[in-house]
Amino acid sequence: MKGTAGKIPSPRSLTELVTERLRGDIVDGVFAFGENVSEDRLAAAYGVSRTPVRDALSALQFQGLVEVRPKRGSFVFDPTADDIAELCAYREMLEREAIRMSVAGSRGALCDQLDGIVARMEAELARKDFQAYAHSDTDFHRAFFAFCGNRLVTSAFDMAEARIATVRTALTSPYVERRDASFFEHCQIVDNLRQGDIDTALALLADHIDRTRVVAVARVS
């Protein structure tokens, strides 16, 4: 066959689009912790029928972003201090191992990608686009898994990533001083990875996540 070969990508289903939209709205704080997100309300807001909304809520329940309570409705997850502590411990464990695996085979590529994200974060801070900065913060930590070469480790992180991002947006991003300190910590992590000082980078990562935990727990206590 002559010409350009390749499969034509299938159009995304309405359920996928609604799931992505609702996930983004929860992560970005459009819906607050514990807020009721009824099928009727979401269907009206998104201009769709209840069926894709119901399927989206089911998918996000699996990710831990939504709690479906029988005869009461669907609600955005509402973490306790213990929930946040567990989430941060889980995150630190997975990110630490993902970094070790990534630097073993793709340290240069990882650092190049992290450098690009840090540059983007700096520009977003300068123009005070804090929502974009929060998204880039998520991209920074996600990059560890892009190069780890282990789908199971990546899948384990996928299960908690949205909750991690939501906690960051809702509970830590509003603090300007924490945001500035966080940016400096990201820079330090990349610098040490670039220099091959993995132990220091991992220690910085642990401190970085623990400071996030302290701020977040203080907000819900």
Q: What is the pLDDT of residues 131-184, one digit of tens each?
A: 899 899 999 999 999 999 999 999 999 999 999 999 888 877 666 777 888 899
Domain that holds residue 166: 81-220
Listed in sequence order, the residues at least 6 apart from 86 whose beta carbon sits closer than 8 Å to its beta carbon are none
Low-confidence ranges of the chain (pLDDT < 50): 1
Q: Which of 51, 76, 101 is the last residue of a domain?
A: 76
For residue 4, the model assigns a pLDDT of: 52
| Residue 24 token pair | 């983004």
Q: Which of 53, 76, 99 is the last residue of a domain?
A: 76
For residue 11, the model assigns a pLDDT of: 61
Q: What is the pLDDT of residues 64-75, one digit of tens each?
A: 999 988 888 899
Q: Rounded to whole angstroms, how far apart are CA atoms 142 and 157?
A: 9
CA distances from 39 to 17, 47, 113 (A): 15, 12, 39
Domain presence at residue 1: no
Same domain assignment for residues 170 and 101: yes
pTM of the full structure: 0.86
For residue 1, the model assigns a pLDDT of: 44
For residue 180, the model assigns a pLDDT of: 84
Same domain assignment for residues 69 and 166: no
Q: How many residues make up the chain in this entry?
A: 221
For residue 170, the model assigns a pLDDT of: 80
